[in-house]
Structure 1
Amino acid sequence: MTSTRSALVDRFGRRAVDLRVSLTDRCNLRCSYCMPPEGLPWLPNADVLTDDEVLRLVEIAVTRLGVTEVRFTGGEPLLRPGLVGIVAGAAALRPRPKLSVTTNAIGLHRLAAPLREAGLDRVNVSLDTLDPDRFATIAHRRRLDDVVAGLAAAAQAGLTPVKLNTVLLRGVNDDEAPALLRFALKHGYELRFIEQMPLDAQHGWSRTDMVTAEEILAALHAEFELSPDPAERAGAPAETWLVGGGPAKVGVIASVTRPFCGDCDRTRLTADGQVRNCLFARGETDLRGLLRGGAGDEEIAQRWREAMWGKLPGHGIDNPDFLQPTRPMSAIGG
């Protein structure tokens, strides 16, 4: 077991055990709350960590820093050619971390079985609407059928529980909360609504335009019997409710209106090897330079500890001087 002294702890006593690894900043959708329709300048290939570099940092996190869960994100991680091999390498670590992927599910119908065989435990899939025209409005691509096929393949491959991540946009899909929950219940998926956060590349986020957790729950209560989930939330970002007495659940990640910073247990690694101690951090710590400069594992681990020690008590969205991160969500990793 990793001692507190060697773990990723901060000045407020929080311990990071959940590592989010972005494998690419590229994506095959253009969701309006993330990036503009024309896309963004991608990271140069030479700046992106190699598969071996990713696995070395994951190994350091797991064996030296006490990380117990690893989630591979993007951009869209299914676009990473070496994804299956990276998952297999992470699954071979001891102690073995829990492994998941956050994806838009385009292409998952082909990769679900290989990823499961490599050791992936489960997936989180972004699904904001069940209407093909609305999907095209939000994502600027007509790929809803591909997402639905990917979900089915994930469930069939045993990548369960399959979790759905939904962002409701005012005037676009904000009337779909009950329909999305019915869809999730029908197929055995776990639905999580996420308040829209100020992480879009266009910096167009507005609190008044955001659909709040209170509004989402009101829409669900109008159709479903919801009761508080008695299970311990711990560092999980979603507040969950039992549907009809359970066992089915629905969750809301209310990062803006009900922040959970005091229980945050995450550390983030960008595709170009930068540690971020908070999703909304304005600064980063470079590990890629250490890797490529010949640093040993313990030197890298210590730099990572120092990065997490400086974590702020909260994201500060409500502060008058709050500024969005320079990088958008697609370049940070979920």
Structure 2
Amino acid sequence: MVKEVTPITDVFGRSLRDLRISVIDKCNFRCTYCMPKEIFGDDYPFLPESELLSFEEIIRVAKTFAKLGVEKIRITGGEPLLRKNLDQLIAKLTEIPGIDDIALTTNAVLLPKRATKLKEAGLKRVNISLDAIDDDVFTKINGRGVPIRPVLRGIEAAKQAGLKVKVNMVVKKGMNESQILPMARYFKGKDIILRYIEFMDVGNHNGWDLNHVISKKQIIDRIHEEMPIEAAEENYYGEVASRFRYQDGEGEIGVISSVTDSFCGTCTRIRLSADGKLYTCLFASSGYDLRGRLRDGITDEELQTNLTGLWKRRTDRYSDERAERKHENRKKIEMSYIGG
């Protein structure tokens, strides 16, 4: 089936290509840079199921976005595998004309039980969050005392199921910079792309400070000294990670550097939060209440018109403006509601 597409661009001429859907705000980790346990404890009031979008509502929104040019969907959380019957949602999303790629971001702990079903449902890729390969460092970061072994089992389960795997490591000075080289050594030659992420000021509770950022240059220089690498071309327009390949041919790494290298100019992403709001930027303060409109009976035509207008009015360029210190006291949406 050929989809009918009405491509749209925002104020700066950026196309709409990627939809990121947070299906739940709960997580089984309490990572210090995302959901610190001092704030998100065991009694934290996460959203009741009635306030999450239903699968039917998510599918309806995704179908409309596909008509506006969206080709890729990523499922996020919280920890998305805590959402029941997630494979059923993915199976329905794969049926939408024009959606070419569906990926999932996860901490991998639940993948041994879910990977095969997810693959059979149509999932193609998983991005696995892993910030250290050393148990002592990892248990401190995840806030739950979870050792590295369950995550590695999840990675292996994903590979055995036939899913492509990327590993994402947030790098923060004073937290895990000691793991930059051990992580590279571990994943080199394993047909898994390791991506380092500069510590970003997402949300309001992670104590972000520019002094805690390990820059892309620092990461690359450290790796290159031991394992020579060279720059590689981007795979597609708007790719967030700068690619580098090992000169000995044993794979590649990436660095996501929204702090030291803004990529606002090529951003094609829109995000649907766990509580049904649309955000046109990862660092946004407010969102468009989609859940309310869906449940108030908005028609498909009205929905498409509203989403078109939302994107066409988009002016976000937070990473550019961060350098100009325009948003130092800005309150932002929490990572657990919006995903990555």
Q: TM-score, normalised by structure 2?
A: 0.93
Q: 1:111 aligns with which of 88, 92, 114?
A: 114
The correspondence of residues 41-56 of structure 1 with structure 2, limited to 5 A, is: 41-56=45-60
Query: Does structure 1 conserve the Cα–Cα contact (< 8 Å) formed by 2:180 and 2:219?
Result: yes
| Paired position in structure 1 for 2:152 | 148
CA distance 1:310–1:325, change in 2 (3 Å)? farther
Q: 1:125 aligns with which of 109, 120, 128?
A: 128
Report the alpha carbon displacement of residue 187 of structure 1 after superposing the two structures with TM: 2.5
Report the alpha carbon displacement of residue 303 of structure 1 after superposing the two structures with TM: 1.2
Query: Does structure 1 conserve the Cα–Cα contact (< 8 Å) formed by 2:188 and 2:250?
Result: no
Question: Deviation per CA, 1:276-334, whole angstroms, max 9, x where unpaired?
Answer: 01111222111111211111112112211222222225112223231444321111121
- Give me the whole-angstrom Cα distance separating, in 2, the residues matched to 1:141 and 1:186: 30
Aligned to 2:178, the other structure's residue is in SS state: coil
Query: Does structure 1 conserve the Cα–Cα contact (< 8 Å) formed by 2:172 and 2:198?
Result: no
- Give me the whole-angstrom Cα distance separating, in 1, the residues matched to 2:310 and 2:197: 27
| Paired position in structure 1 for 2:227 | 224
| Match status 1:328 vs 2:334 | yes
CA distance 1:319–1:44, change in 2 (3 Å)? farther
| Match status 1:15 vs 2:20 | no
Report the alpha carbon displacement of residue 217 of structure 1 after superposing the two structures with TM: 1.0
| Match status 1:318 vs 2:326 | no
- Give me the whole-angstrom Cα distance separating, in 1, the residues matched to 2:333 and 2:283: 9
- Give me the whole-angstrom Cα distance separating, in 2, the residues matched to 1:324 and 1:228: 35
The correspondence of residues 195-274 of structure 1 with structure 2, limited to 5 A, is: 195-244=198-247, 246=249, 248-274=251-277
CA distance 1:209–1:45, change in 2 (3 Å)? same
Report the alpha carbon displacement of residue 194 of structure 1 after superposing the two structures with TM: 0.5
Aligned partner letter, 1:37: K
- Give me the whole-angstrom Cα distance separating, in 2, the residues matched to 1:195 and 1:279: 14
Gaps of 5+ in 2: none
| Paired position in structure 2 for 1:76 | 79
Report the alpha carbon displacement of residue 266 of structure 1 after superposing the two structures with TM: 0.6
Query: Does structure 2 conserve the Cα–Cα contact (< 8 Å) formed by 1:33 and 1:200?
Result: no
Aligned to 1:153, the other structure's residue is in SS state: helix
Question: Deviation per CA, 1:52-80, whole angstroms, max 9, x where unpaired?
Answer: 11111112111x21110000000110001
Report the alpha carbon displacement of residue 224 of structure 1 after superposing the two structures with TM: 1.2
CA distance 1:201–1:44, change in 2 (3 Å)? farther
The correspondence of residues 28-39 of structure 1 with structure 2, limited to 5 A, is: 28-38=28-38, 39=40
Report the alpha carbon displacement of residue 230 of structure 1 after superposing the two structures with TM: 2.9
Report the alpha carbon displacement of residue 142 of structure 1 after superposing the two structures with TM: 2.8
Query: Does structure 2 conserve the Cα–Cα contact (< 8 Å) formed by 1:8 and 1:17?
Result: no
- Give me the whole-angstrom Cα distance separating, in 1, the residues matched to 2:248 and 2:234: 13
Question: Percent identity between the aligned chains?
Answer: 37
Which of 171-180 and 257-266 deviates more? 171-180
Aligned partner letter, 1:12: F
Report the alpha carbon displacement of residue 2 of structure 1 after superposing the two structures with TM: 5.2
Query: Does structure 2 conserve the Cα–Cα contact (< 8 Å) formed by 1:104 and 1:147?
Result: yes
- Give me the whole-angstrom Cα distance separating, in 2, the residues matched to 1:295 and 1:237: 34
Task: Tell me the number of residue pairs that the alignment of Structure 1 and Structure 2 aligns.
Answer: 330
Q: 2:65 aligns with which of 38, 61, 65?
A: 61
Q: TM-score, normalised by structure 1?
A: 0.94
| Paired position in structure 2 for 1:170 | 173
